[in-house]
Amino acid sequence: MALLPIFSESSTMKKFISVFLTIISFSFIFSSNPSHGFVGTLAGEKWVLDQYRDSSMANPLPRHDTLVFITDSTYTWNGVHAKYLYSGNDYQTSLELFDTPFGTVNGVVASTFDSYGEIIDSPFYQYYGAGQIFYFWMTKQP
């Protein structure tokens, strides 16, 4: 005798359970496979913002700001402490910089930016304020 006889013969409930178990299985596969997402670190690296432009500018403006990444989540921008997040998945890599002179911005960068030591004309989207898009040129320092 089934504990809940109302559900024991229900084909709808059997389909629901089957779909539920399939979703749980896929969730486990993707969450346990590190190639589908990562959180990285730039700790110990020094970068310089060489130039930038916003979406209304035709030409970039020179700028020589220094970013020093201290830990896996903190950095300084010209000596001012803030947080950052370097993360990605199979489709994109992003660098989120909090409390910059441009506000909090999130940039979609090339997955090889750290290996090559440069970010070239990458869009960084402002979270608050006017919601502007800034394009950054940055180089890693030795």
Q: What is the mean pLDDT of residues 108-116?
A: 90
How far is residue 119's CA from residue 24's CA, in Å, rounded to a whole number? Answer: 38
Report the b/e string of 43-67 with b at 16+ CB within 10 A: eeeebebbebbeeeeeebeeeeeeb
Tens-place pLDDT, residues 16-75: 444 443 343 334 334 444 456 889 999 999 999 999 999 889 899 999 999 999 999 999
Domain ranges for the chain, please list them: 5-32, 38-141
Closest CA to 68 of 52, 58, 80: 80
Closest CA to 85 of 126, 119, 120, 41: 41
pLDDT computed for residue 10 by the predictor: 54
pLDDT computed for residue 11 by the predictor: 53
Q: How would residue 7 be classed by pLDDT, with cut points 50, 70 and 90? A: very low
H or E element in which residue 23 lies: helix 11-31
Is the per-residue pLDDT at 127 higher than 80?
Answer: yes
Closest CA to 39 of 73, 78, 74: 73
